[in-house]
Chain A
Amino acid sequence: MNRSISLLAGVLFTVAASFVGLVLIPDWQFVPLEPVQLDDGTTRPVPPEGSVAEGRLVYNELGCIYCHTQQIRPDNFGTDQQRGWGTRQTEPLDHIYDEPPLLGTMRSGPDLANIGARQPSRSWHHLHMFNPVITSPGSNMPPHRFLYEAIPRGDGERPDEALNFPEEFDDPHHWWVPTDRAEALVDYLLSLDHTYPTGRGQ
């Protein structure tokens, strides 16, 4: 094989063909997807806006995807649904507003596709984010105390938003108050709910 032209043609053709097949064609398939209309007149999914969109950026910049997926597998494949992580397989429709989709590839921690529906408590999420072992003994998730501000207790009153620790985790010297980033991140997590019907079979 000594003709560089045929070598070049083969090299370009092989990669171009796979790009069309694996990237462009699926893209054309997803572009026409429209949100679903629910009985109460609202539509799903909802594009992330305001603090949810900000929280989504915090989720990105803390690298949550390196341990958490956001995709439920079909019910005959793995036990995602039996674990209560979701009620149906995730579909392309669920991610039409996601730039980028945060599907993830690793489950060092549980799936979060429906964490807003599974764990709707705001204070739970804050405690868990501050130090995961408070809510989940044995967890190896890193604590995110840097998302919270320590306010010396002194004589001042307890701020309303200060975290309410169980006794053994209480810090007698400080009140710990969520920063805007922590609030946005929890807003985003609470927004993760893909339990709505899509009108498609499984």
Chain B
Amino acid sequence: MTDDSPPPTSDSSASSAPMPEGSPDQESSPRDMVDRARIDASCRGPVLFFFLTAAAWLLIGSALALLASIKMHSPEFLSDTEWLTFGRVRPAHLNTVIYGWSSLAGMGVLFWLQARLSRAELRFQKLLYAVGILWNLAIAGGTVVLLTGRYLSIEWLEFPVWTAALLGLGFVAVMVTSLDTFRRRTHHHVYVSQWYLFGAVFWFPILYVLAHAMIHLGGATGVAQATANWWFAHNVLGIWFTPIGLAAAYYFIPKVIGRPIHSYYLSLLGFWTLALFYNWAGTHHLIGGPLPVWLTTVGTVASMMMFIPVITVAINHHMTMIGHFQKLKFSPTLRFIVFGAMSYTVVSFQGSLMSLRIVNETSHFTHYTVAHAHLGMYAFFTMVLFGSIYYIAPRLTGREWASARLIKIHFWSVAVGMIMYFTGLSWGGWRQGEQMNHDTMPFLDIVAELMPYFWSRSVAGILMTVGHIAFAILLWKMWRGEGQKRLRARKLEQQQEGPTLLARPEEDS
């Protein structure tokens, strides 16, 4: 039953622990440690490059988000500069955080996880550098085009076709590299995280290419473009970001607390039901729209079926965590990832309910949906990325994080900021929906009622941005090698200290 068991070891115990899929053995032989060091070394350059540039896009995306948020309550703010008008910074925010931050950081996590789990070195480093540079240039170019206005308003697909072509081309190399690592795996057993990563590297390019063919290259007619749009946009979250996020959660939670995942069979069920149902859920974005009813009903049914994979994953993660929650005190990785994993359950339940017509009638077209989207992309996925990077980066550089205080600032400002963002906009957005469905309430009165919630979003956004700056500083210092050198694994196990931990277990227990 533990043939799926990942790696017991604690966050602290260094480049630590073995990765014995197949053996619950906690002891890591010297050979294991040499193997891991070799694998980490093979990832070092490209993965750090992806993380660093992703963090830069996170900062740019945050600035664009703040601009858009402020403009919602103070429309005169920077209003005479056309390229900073709301309709420009809003899509620029989405595309920089999706293709810049989330995808670049997600790919970094994907390379490292696949290499560690396959127990095979990452190859083609130069190619990956080239891909990283290509993606960054393409996103930069695409963002300039967006801000200067030469784009079509197709949500999640605003980048011009040439940008998309470059991103797609770069991704082919990502796919080849990741599959190359997977193919050279030295263990017969394939861990659940590897299925998700395997799926993600196929799913993203298929989605991206087909969506462009149907929309930008004229493959679909009229509102079929809208269904293609939401088939794509929903699936980017569902079968690109979610698999990476779940792969990381399935890896790090057992790894950090040092016990195998609760159930192999549940993870199997969770993976295949996700693959089967998430794909069909996207049309719930078009409920009430100009489409045959069967089409949106399919979306609703698939969304309800999503309860299966979500509950499965929730049980599996919770049962693994149970009895170990006190470890959240010590491990930044665990803290971010558990926050993310819990948000995954919440956002998925909420999303399924929002696909019901009775809920959708109120929530559709309102800021409630915006809050929901951030619960998915931020509270779940971005938090999991943060947690993963806190684990991976020290193992790439051989150094600890430069400051435990900055990690705490990062965690608390984004956690509080996100909770504030979500509660404010959900409450305000739901009221907006109810008032819109009262035909006697004048539209401008609804706008006036929303103002306090728009302000709360800006305050929450500032908090989250503060966290991002702390994170970027930490990553910068990590790259510059300013943290303490990591002690040799054996030694560290005894010492249990270093800023990577938020507190010393000895003191508190």
Q: Which residues of A contact B (CB under 8 A)?
A: 1-2, 4, 7-8, 10-12, 14-19, 21-23, 26-27, 29-31, 33, 59-67, 69, 71, 73-74, 77-79, 82-83, 89-92, 94-110, 132, 136-146
Flag B85-112 by CB within 8 Å of A: 1 or 0 each.
Answer: 1111011000000000000000000000
Which of A27, A94, A107, A138 contacts B224 (CB under 8 A)?
A27
| Complex contact B295–A22 (CB within 8 A) | yes
Which of A23, A30, A71, A79 contacts B289 (CB under 8 A)?
A71
Closest A residue to B87 using CB positions: A63
| B4 vs chain A, min Cβ distance (A) | 10
Number of A-B contacts (CB under 8 A): 224
Does chain A have a CB within 8 A of B203?
A: yes
A-B residue pairs in contact (CB < 8 Å), sample of 9: A11-B203, A23-B214, A30-B221, A60-B152, A66-B87, A71-B288, A95-B226, A106-B369, A141-B75
| Complex contact A62–B288 (CB within 8 A) | no
Which of A1, A23, A89 contacts B228 (CB under 8 A)?
A23
Cα–Cα, bound, A30→B289 (Å): 14
Does chain A have a CB within 8 A of B365?
A: yes
Does chain A have a CB within 8 A of B237?
A: no
Which of B81, B369, B444 contacts A137 (CB under 8 A)?
B444
Flag B248-273 by CB within 8 Å of A: 1 or 0 each.
Answer: 00000000000000000000100010
Does chain A have a CB within 8 A of B195?
A: yes
| Complex contact B223–A142 (CB within 8 A) | no
Which of A22, A59, A92, A110 contacts B280 (CB under 8 A)?
A22
| Complex contact B292–A26 (CB within 8 A) | yes
Cα–Cα, bound, A145→B86 (Å): 13
Closest B residue to A194 using CB positions: B290
* Chain B residues whose CB sits within 8 angstroms of the CB of A33 once the complex forms: 221-222
| Complex contact B231–A23 (CB within 8 A) | yes
Which of A23, A69, A144 contacts B220 (CB under 8 A)?
A23
* Chain A residues whose CB sits within 8 angstroms of the CB of B272 once the complex forms: 10
| Complex contact B365–A106 (CB within 8 A) | yes
* Chain B residues whose CB sits within 8 angstroms of the CB of A91 once the complex forms: 290
- Given contacts A22-B227, A22-B231, A66-B87, whether A142 and B361 have CB atoms under 8 Å apart is no
* Chain A residues whose CB sits within 8 angstroms of the CB of B87 once the complex forms: 61-64, 66-67, 142
| Complex contact A103–B226 (CB within 8 A) | yes
Q: Does more than half of chain B's interface fall in helix, strand or loop, or is it mixed?
A: helix
Does chain A have a CB within 8 A of B161?
A: no
Which of A17, A29, A73, A94 contacts B292 (CB under 8 A)?
A29
Closest B residue to A95 using CB positions: B222
Cα–Cα, bound, A95→B444 (Å): 28
* Chain B residues whose CB sits within 8 angstroms of the CB of A77 once the complex forms: 288, 357, 361
In the complex, chain B residues 213-259 whose Cβ is within 8 Å of any chain A Cβ: 214-215, 218-229, 231, 235, 239
| Complex contact B72–A10 (CB within 8 A) | no
Does chain A have a CB within 8 A of B31?
A: no
| Complex contact A95–B223 (CB within 8 A) | yes
| Complex contact A103–B289 (CB within 8 A) | yes
Q: Which residues of B contact A (CB under 8 A)?
A: 71-73, 75-76, 79-82, 85-88, 90-91, 149-155, 182, 188-190, 195, 198-199, 202-203, 206-207, 210, 214-215, 218-229, 231, 235, 239, 268, 272, 275-276, 279-280, 282-283, 285-286, 288-292, 295, 298-299, 357, 361, 364-367, 369-370, 436-439, 443-444, 447-448, 451, 454
Closest A residue to B357 using CB positions: A77
9 closest A-B pairs by beta carbon, nearest first, are: A63-B87, A18-B279, A82-B439, A61-B149, A27-B224, A73-B288, A79-B439, A107-B365, A90-B290
Which of A7, A79, A101, A136 contacts B436 (CB under 8 A)?
A79
Name the residue in B203, B364, B451 with the highest tally of chain A Cβ atoms < 10 Å from its Cβ.
B364
Cα–Cα, bound, A15→B232 (Å): 11
| Complex contact B154–A103 (CB within 8 A) | no
Cα–Cα, bound, A92→B223 (Å): 6
| Complex contact A105–B365 (CB within 8 A) | yes
Cα–Cα, bound, A64→B195 (Å): 41
| A28 vs chain B, min Cβ distance (A) | 9
Which of B75, B149, B227 contacts A62 (CB under 8 A)?
B149
Cα–Cα, bound, A12→B205 (Å): 11
- Given contacts A17-B279, A23-B231, A74-B288, whether A30 and B222 have CB atoms under 8 Å apart is yes
| B233 vs chain A, min Cβ distance (A) | 10
Cα–Cα, bound, A137→B442 (Å): 12
Cα–Cα, bound, A105→B152 (Å): 15
- Given contacts A30-B222, A73-B288, A142-B79, whether A105 and B155 have CB atoms under 8 Å apart is yes
Closest A residue to B188 using CB positions: A2
* Chain A residues whose CB sits within 8 angstroms of the CB of B280 once the complex forms: 18, 21-22
Closest A residue to B268 using CB positions: A1
Given contacts A7-B199, A22-B299, A79-B439, 11 further A-B contacts (CB under 8 A): A1-B190, A14-B275, A19-B206, A65-B155, A69-B365, A79-B436, A82-B439, A91-B290, A103-B289, A105-B155, A140-B73
Cα–Cα, bound, A145→B76 (Å): 11
Cα–Cα, bound, A79→B436 (Å): 7
Cα–Cα, bound, A186→B279 (Å): 39
